[in-house]
Amino acid sequence: MIPALSPSAPVLSRVAQFCAELRLRDFAGDISTGGGDRTVMATDNSIYQVTPQAVLYPRNRDDLVRIAKLLAQDRFAGIHVAPRGGGTGTNGQSLTDGIVVDLSRHMNRVLEIDVAARRVRVEPGVVKDQLNAALAPHGLFFAPELSTSNRATIGGMISTDASGQGSCLYGKTRDHVLGLTMVLADGSVFRSGPLSRDELDRACQQPGLGGKVCNALDRIETKNADLIARTFPRLNRCLTGYDLAHLRLPDGGLDLNVVLCGSEGTLGFIAQAELNVVPIPAYSAVATMRYDSFDAALRDAQVLMGFGPASIETVDEHVLALAQEDAVWASVEVFFPEDPQGLAKGVNLVEFTGESQEQVERALDALEEGTRRAPNPARRGYTLARGREETNRLWDMRKRAVGLLGNMKGDRRPVAFVEDTAVPPEHLADYIAEFRALLDRHRLAYGMFGHVDAGVLHVRPALDMREAGTEALVREITEEVVALTKRYGGLLWGEHGKGVRSEFSPAFFGPLYPAIQAVKAAFDPRNQFNPGKIAAPEGSSLLAIDAVPTKGQNDRAIPQAWREATDNALHCNGNGACFNWDPDDAMCPSWKATRDRRHSPKGRAQLMRDWLRRLAQQGVDPLAEARGLRARPAWRALPARIWATLRRREDDFSHEVMEAMSGCLACKSCTGACPIKVDVPSFRAKFLEIYHGRYLRPLRHHLVARLESMLPLLSRLPRLSNMASAEPFTRLVGLVHTPKLSTVNLRRELMRRGVSFADPETLAALPEADRKRSVVLVPDAFIQHYETPLLLDALELLAMLGYRPWLARYSPNGKPLHVHGFLGAFRKVATRHAAELRALAESGVDLVGLDPSMVLTYRSEYAAILPKGAAPKVRLLQEWLAERLSDLPRVSAEEGFALLPHCTERALAPGAVANWQAIFAACGLGLEIRRAGCCGMAGTYGHEAEHRALSEKIYAMSWAEQVSAGGGPGNLLADGFSCRCQVREIDAVTLRHPVQALRDVLRAGETVTAR
């Protein structure tokens, strides 16, 4: 049994006192000094790991005032804070060993949309895509773009002056900020915006820090005007971090917004923002141009700029290859036809927008004409995507590119530290050639892509930060890149802000640096806001890129074998794709419903790696522990487990991890949609096994895990069993809303329909023609026992389509055992069941199943533990039918259907969702695939009393609306057992499975062509 693990380092007494006083001052938000929160807030997407003392989650502006006023007291002068939004910074921007102030949990409302004036007012924690979803019905959008648009907050965007694709047309975030409500270091509320000379003079008179700041900025700008003009580069991606070059207005006034934009939380809290929004371009098209080399693509981009595109993005072959292995490829494949020379080595995505389709078509004609007149032998050709839906598919792929870079195989993984340099666009190709030579000299792998129109290059060299001495390599490469960008008149910090890389500011600014320091000193005289970044006031220092603790250093204690056994948990690079805001996206329901980052894939991965580190420190090998637990009979350790449970040490760090793991629905969305394929359900199961090797499990774990074995028995007397499993009884063991067993007698119905059970000998003895027509339906515990009619309908459909259906004899699949971490038992069940299914498959007859979650277990959990090739090949029924489209009859009925797919299927087998559409289309029926998140049920999760409220909340976020919208009378379909259960429970609506819809249409007898 593992020992109780040491708790997180105690909180400094002055921080504890600060938090206690804050509470006394009616702080309305949340305050946490818990180890779980501190661990999760210790990282962003950078190489660094810095554990804060506490995390504050303010609820409103007044809470920010309370924090700042308390900080301003002398006794708390030593405390510092870092504001935090989505935590997607790539250079430690929001990391601190002080207090994190997370503005994303509560302060995330769109407050006002003024359509006529094209203005919005938002709280800082609003996510960029959230804002755009609210604006879309008005035909407007917030234009600055960034790859992390589905999780980065407006506060974070403003503070890093974010920009990305389309910046030449729409500019940076700063260009769209009209005004900011700031809470300054003395607790005063300050409204920034462009001030005319007169307004500035009045502002300088105002009491408090606001007046002093106005005075100081006026002075600093006047004194250094020449130096400022000489030092700041004239680039599209002008410098972030106190942009003095754009501070002075023509009439002598000042625009304070430009200094605050890009200030990375070093000058105060942004409490509210007023933003300018613009009309969504009505029409758009993207030409995807393929090349023989990345260099050719980069050089051609300069020629293509002449055709006036809205934006050009260049992607290299590594990024394309990674995209090919990702779920995103299915949606863009059509735009990348196979060339005789193989996959393109470079691609330019060239976007044209316009007020009318004709305008866009004229631009495309000009491109066609121009490229014909000026041929380029390295150009292979191009495809066109027209309209929002198609172009968005390409931009979504491009947005995933940075994340995908982290998915290289092996221990050396792409990391961010020189990932966003910018040079004048006309020099980009030459610059990149030198950059590549630099990385090649260091023998480093890398993938590249960039905003060529703006001269920005994204590159992440692959390093194993656990190797001793890598920090020195990070320094060496950074310094070489700094020198290289300087030679090309460019910047190290072209897009993602400075963070820890602020170290290079004094050298860059030279004699102007004291002016930058003076700005910091004016706003934050005691250096309490995110110190060490952007500028350090006299007497204090900036952080250094190799002097901040890294994740790699932390992970060094974790042995390689554990790293490999924990399902990519240790490869989580914090890119935050799992913080996806969109309720209609499957990723990650527990995070969306709680807004607690511990309950996200990143949170769980982060806690897992810290848990492994603590185990290593105590000399405990979790792999040996798991082997021991499986080898010994459970009863032997029972007394010790009872003792440990009774004497439960509350400060055992394992409980912190357990809390995060227990909120996981095991829906597998992370496994499919995380660019790094961090597989939470798999490492969670391993954790649960070891955790419960020390602490007793609740009774319901045992019941649920054994349910698959008990169901055949219970089904013999379904009515009695249903009475016994009614609410008051199940509640006693923590289960609620359990489904009712079907009362249909399966054996009798099979006989009536002439369907036999499949056994290997009978199948093997079938004549060839019969075997070819045969297919075995593999039942799962839930559909067979709770939805027996569906099983029969599927068999009937197969027969109607001219096949000979067989039913495999029921045998537990083991999924519930896996979910609850009974891994020893799971291995036994999986080994046995796989052997049974392989024996059937050896006859040459195909095996199919109905429920996505159960069938995909064979591909995922079975494949992970069984020897190579031993996992049985069971396809989803629709995957099998989609290979036989020509066998399907066309019907005359003009019905349309809508499908709400299972989220595990969306994540792990996105093609299978599309298969339903192809099948319905082949039958002449319409099928719309609805965008929806998780239904909240996820196997037994929604039946567990402790999770029921959250399960219903998850349902309300996305499914409730879809179900109430319906799909035509009775035409809304769902292919997941859990989903149908949840809809029945909450909305009292029975959704059909797609096979039932097809069966019913065929039964109605309106077949036009039988094939």
Ligand X SMILES: Cc1cc2nc3c(=O)[nH]c(=O)nc-3n(C[C@H](O)[C@H](O)[C@H](O)COP(=O)(O)OP(=O)(O)OC[C@H]3O[C@@H](n4cnc5c(N)ncnc54)[C@H](O)[C@@H]3O)c2cc1C
Assess 127 for contact with ligand SF4 (CB under 6 A). Answer: no
Stretch that binds ligand X, among 489-497, 515-523, 633-641, 701-709 (CB under 6 A): 489-497
Residue 403 is which amino acid? Answer: G
The pair of structure tokens assigned to 677 is 């394929």
Q: Which residues have CB under 8 Å from 380's CB, separation 6+?
A: 289, 290, 291, 292, 339, 341, 344
In angstroms, rounded to a whole number, what is the distance separating the alpha carbons of residues 805 and 448? 51
Cα radius of gyration rounded to whole Å, the chain: 30
497 binds ligand X, rule: CB under 6 A? yes
Residue 533 vs 875, nearer CB to ligand X? 533
In the list ligand SF4, ligand X, none, the entry touching 664 (Cβ below 5 to 8 angstroms by class) is ligand SF4
CB of 127 or CB of 856, closer to ligand X: 127
Q: Pick between residue 612 and residue 845 the one whose CB is nearest to ligand SF4.
A: 612
Q: Is 83 in the site for ligand X (CB under 6 A)?
A: yes
**Cα–Cα distance between 983 and 740 in angstroms, integer?**
14
**Is position 542 an interface residue for ligand X (rule: CB under 6 A)?**
no
CA distance 70 to 56: 13
Residue 751 CA: distances (Å) to CA of 745, 754, 801: 10, 5, 19
* 667 binding ligand SF4? (CB under 6 A): yes
Which residues lie across from 352 on neighbouring strands? 285
Please name the helix (run of DSSP H) or strand (run of DSSP E) that holds residue 360, with its range, or none. Answer: helix 357-373
* 90 binding ligand X? (CB under 6 A): yes
Q: Does 301 bind ligand SF4 (CB under 6 A)?
A: no
Name which of 323 and 666 has its Cβ closer to ligand SF4: 666
Judged by beta carbon, residue 669 or residue 843, the one nearer ligand SF4 is 669
603 makes contact with ligand X (CB under 6 A): no
Residue 761 CB partners (closer than 8 Å, separation 6+) = none
Residue 218 found at the interface with ligand X (CB under 6 A): no
Q: Which of 147/788 has CB closer to ligand X? A: 147
Q: Does 665 bind ligand SF4 (CB under 6 A)?
A: yes
- Closest contact distance (angstroms) between CB of 533 and ligand X is 7
Judged by beta carbon distances under 5 to 8 A according to partner kind, the member of ligand SF4, ligand X, none in contact with residue 270 is ligand X
Looking at beta carbons only, is 153 or 857 nearer to ligand X? 153
Per DSSP, helices labelled H in 524-586 are 551-555, 560-565
Number of H helices, E strands in the chain: 46, 32
589 binds, among ligand X, ligand SF4, none (CB under 5 to 8 A by kind): ligand SF4
The 10 Å Cβ neighbour count of residue 1006 is: 15
Tokens of 988: 């009292």
Q: Does 147 bind ligand X (CB under 6 A)?
A: yes
CA distances from 730 to 736, 944, 977 (A): 6, 10, 20
Q: Is 40 near ligand SF4 (CB under 6 A)?
A: no
> For ligand X, which residue of 29, 36, 52, 87 counts as binding (CB under 6 A)?
87
Q: Pick from 166, 167, 165, 148: which is nearest to 157 by CA?
A: 148
Q: How many residues comprise the chain?
A: 1011
Q: Which of 495, 585, 610, 679 binds ligand X (CB under 6 A)?
A: 495
Tell me: does residue 129 bind ligand X (CB under 6 A): no
Given ligand X, ligand SF4, none, residue 676, with its beta carbon under 5 to 8 Å by kind, binds ligand SF4
Contact 17, 44 (CB under 8 A): no
Applying CB under 6 A, the span of 2-10, 160-168, 220-228, 839-847 interacting with ligand X comes to 160-168
Question: Contact between 264 and ligand X (CB under 6 A)?
Answer: yes
Nearest to 839 by CA among 864, 798, 867, 873: 873
Q: How far apart are CA 98 and CA 76, in angstroms?
A: 12
User: What is the total count of residues that contact ligand SF4 (CB under 6 A)?
Assistant: 27
SS (H, E, C) 665-713: CCCCHHHHHCCCCCCHHHHHHHHHHHHHHHCCCCHHHHHHHHHHHHHHH
Residue 573 vs 860, nearer CB to ligand SF4: 573
Residue nearer to ligand SF4 on the CB measure, 674 or 932:
674
Residue nearest to ligand X (CB): 156
Least gap, CB of 592 to ligand SF4 (angstroms):
9
Using alpha carbons, list the distances in angstroms from residue 619 to 616, 694, 734: 5, 16, 36
52 binds ligand X (CB under 6 A): no
What span, in angstroms and rounded, lies between the C-alpha atoms of 699 and 297? 62
Q: Does 311 bind ligand X (CB under 6 A)?
A: no
| Stretch in the footprint of ligand SF4 (CB under 6 A) among 320-328, 670-678, 737-745, 774-782 | 670-678
- Taking the complex as a whole, the smallest distance from the CB of residue 102 to ligand X amounts, in Å, to 8
> β-strands 896-900, 972-974: how paired?
parallel
Contact yes or no for 852/976 (Cβ under 8 A): yes
Rule CB under 6 A: say whether 566 interacts with ligand X: no
Q: Residue 210 pairs with which residues in a beta bridge?
A: none
Q: Please pick, from the candidates 35, 52, 85, 187, the single residue that binds ligand X as defined by CB under 6 A.
A: 85
715 binds, among ligand SF4, ligand X, none (CB under 5 to 8 A by kind): none
Q: Give the number of residues in contact with ligand X, rule: CB under 6 A.
A: 40
160 binds ligand X (CB under 6 A): yes
270 is a site residue for ligand X (CB under 6 A): yes
Among ligand SF4, ligand X, none, what binds residue 578 when CB lies within 5 to 8 Å by partner kind? Answer: ligand SF4
Q: In this structure, which amino acid lies at residue 475?
A: R
How many Å separate Cα 798 from the centre of its chain? Answer: 38
Cβ of residue 939: shortest distance to ligand SF4, in angstroms? 11
Q: Do residues 59 and 41 touch, judged by C-beta distance below 8 A? A: no
Query: Bridge partners of 621?
Result: none
Nearer to ligand X, 495 or 861 (CB): 495
Bridge partners for 347 per DSSP? 290, 315
Q: Tokens standing for 11?
A: 């909180």
Q: Is 880 left (phi over 0), alpha (psi -120 to 50) or beta?
A: alpha
* C-alpha torsion sign, points 695, 698, 704, 710: positive
Task: Name the segment binding ligand X (CB under 6 A); options: 262-270, 467-475, 634-642, 715-723.
Answer: 262-270
152 touching ligand X, by CB under 6 A: yes
Nearer to ligand X (CB atom), residue 458 or residue 613: 458
Q: For residue 527, how many C-alpha atoms fall within 13 Å in the half-sphere facing its CB? A: 15
Comparing CB distances to ligand SF4, the nearer of 165 and 575 is 575
The Cα 408–Cα 468 span in angstroms is 21
Nearer of residues 95 and 612 to ligand X, judged by Cβ: 95
Q: Is 86 in the site for ligand X (CB under 6 A)?
A: yes
Among 111-119, 490-498, 924-932, 1003-1011, the segment contacting ligand X (CB under 6 A): 490-498
Position 785, amino acid: H
Helix, strand, coil percent content, the chain, rounded in steps of 5: 50, 15, 35
**Which 588-617 positions form the footprint of ligand SF4 (CB under 6 A)?**
588-590, 601-602, 604-605
Subset of 546-585 contacting ligand SF4 (CB under 6 A): 572-578
According to the binding rule CB under 6 A, does residue 676 interact with ligand SF4? yes
Cβ(933)–Cβ(958) below 8 Å: yes
- Alpha helix segments (H runs only) across 758-807: 760-764, 768-773, 781-786, 788-800
For residue 666, state whether it binds ligand SF4 (rule: CB under 6 A).
Answer: yes
Given the complex with ligand X, which of 420 and 944 has the nearer CB atom?
Answer: 420
By C-beta, is 808 or 907 nearer to ligand SF4?
907
Binding footprint of ligand X on the chain (CB under 6 A):
44-45, 82-90, 93-94, 103, 124, 146-148, 152-153, 155-157, 159-160, 162-164, 264-265, 269-270, 402-403, 495-497, 530, 575-576
Binding site for ligand SF4 (CB under 6 A): 572-578, 587-590, 601-602, 604-605, 664-670, 674, 676, 678, 680-681
